[in-house]
């Protein structure tokens, strides 16, 4: 075990603490982690002096960054803010982590890819973002690499949903209570990811860096994690409605129609295909990845 982990214990600074993923990380954290969660207005990620001073004072062994400007279409018109929060500020956290010898876990996205592949994306595949959001998230990844920080995990995920946040599952349930018919995009393929599964995966990855004998010599780097399996938004919506009805929700919905991306134009371009290979995650952690349908069942149980 590294000296810094021993001295600082598993003291974890959770940035973006009010968010959907951060809430789940705090909820599933193993008991030996001591979590300090920070968020706006008290903690401003884009204030470099504040970030460096706070981290220097707290001296965490681990920093997990869940903070992001995630309104994908909003990023198209608020590019400066997107670049600041998702890009430049991540560099401040990396610099702060380096200064106290902490491990940084930074959450990234499938939007760093163009979606032109037809087989699952690997960690070292060529990035080619097609939206302001994707560009800003990629610049965050690059800021970590440019910082010279050695002890980092960049964890890319996709189609994230969970309790305590605006998400596709809740949107579909809400619309299905109001309407008899919905048109849902059927030509974008990905893997829905339940925050509970991603939060557990983050701790599984972290354990590889703190164990005395990690399964591989250098576990640090980029990881892909989403739930296993794949579907379109249309198939995801059908599964949501089916489970909602099984769980006693009263819905008006009678029909869900598959539509093309072109039929539902949005400001930001979405990847047509963003399924991830989780082979690296499984090899390094020794853990299996739950299927997306299993994750959705667990979410409904929690609701």
The answer to whether 106 and 90 have CB atoms below 8 angstroms apart is yes
Count the alpha carbons within 13 Å of 156 in the hemisphere toward its beta carbon: 27
Q: What is the pLDDT of residue 192?
A: 98
Using one digit for the tens of pLDDT, what is the confidence trace for 182-231? 999 999 999 999 999 999 999 999 998 866 555 556 689 999 999 999 99
Using one digit for the tens of pLDDT, what is the confidence trace for 142-170? 999 999 999 999 999 999 999 988 899 99
Q: What is the pLDDT of residue 165?
A: 80
Q: Is the peptide bond before 41 cis (omega within 30 degrees of 0)?
A: yes
The CATH number of 3-167+193-229+274-290, from 3.40.710.10, 3.40.50.1000, 3.40.1160.10, 3.40.50.720, is: 3.40.50.720
Using one digit for the tens of pLDDT, what is the confidence trace for 31-46? 999 999 999 999 999 9
The answer to whether 249 and 173 have CB atoms below 8 angstroms apart is yes
Using one digit for the tens of pLDDT, what is the confidence trace for 51-95? 999 999 999 999 999 999 999 999 999 999 999 999 999 999 999
The answer to whether 193 and 160 have CB atoms below 8 angstroms apart is yes
CA dihedral sign, ordered 204, 39, 221, 275: positive
Which positions are annotated as active-site residues?
Answer: 133
Q: What is the pLDDT of residue 3?
A: 39
CB atoms within 10 A of CB 111: 28
């Amino acid at each position: 075990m590294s000296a810094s982990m021993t001295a600082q214990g598993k003291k974890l600074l959770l940035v973006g603490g009010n968010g959907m993923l951060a809430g789940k990380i705090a909820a599933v954290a193993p008991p030996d982690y001591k979590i300090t969660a920070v968020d706006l207005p008290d903690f401003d990620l884009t204030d470099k002096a504040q970030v460096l001073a706070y981290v220097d004072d707290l001296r965490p062994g681990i920093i997990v960054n869940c903070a992001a400007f995630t309104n994908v279409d909003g990023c198209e018109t608020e590019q400066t803010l997107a670049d600041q929060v998702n890009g430049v500020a991540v560099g401040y956290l990396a610099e702060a982590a380096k200064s106290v010898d902490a491990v940084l876990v930074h959450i990234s996205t499938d939007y760093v890819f163009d979606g032109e592949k037809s087989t699952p994306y690997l960690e070292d595949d060529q990035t080619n973002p097609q939206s302001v959001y994707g560009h800003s998230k990629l610049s965050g990844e690059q800021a970590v690499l440019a910082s010279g920080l050695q002890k980092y995990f960049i964890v890319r995920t996709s189609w994230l949903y969970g309790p305590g946040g605006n998400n596709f599952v809740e949107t579909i349930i809400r619309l299905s209570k109001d309407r008899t018919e919905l048109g849902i995009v059927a030509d974008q393929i990905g893997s829905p990811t339940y925050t509970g599964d991603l939060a557990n995966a983050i701790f599984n990855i972290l354990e590889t860096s703190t164990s005395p004998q990690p399964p591989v010599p250098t576990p640090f780097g980029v990881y892909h994690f989403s739930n296993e399996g794949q579907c379109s938004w249309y198939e995801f919506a059908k599964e949501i409605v089916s489970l909602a009805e099984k769980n006693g929700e009263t819905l008006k919905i009678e029909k869900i129609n598959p539509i093309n991306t072109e039929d539902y134009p949005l400001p930001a371009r979405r990847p047509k295909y963003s399924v991830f290979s989780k082979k690296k995650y499984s090899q390094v952690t020794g853990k299996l990845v739950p299927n997306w349908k299993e994750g959705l069942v667990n979410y409904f149980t929690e609701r």
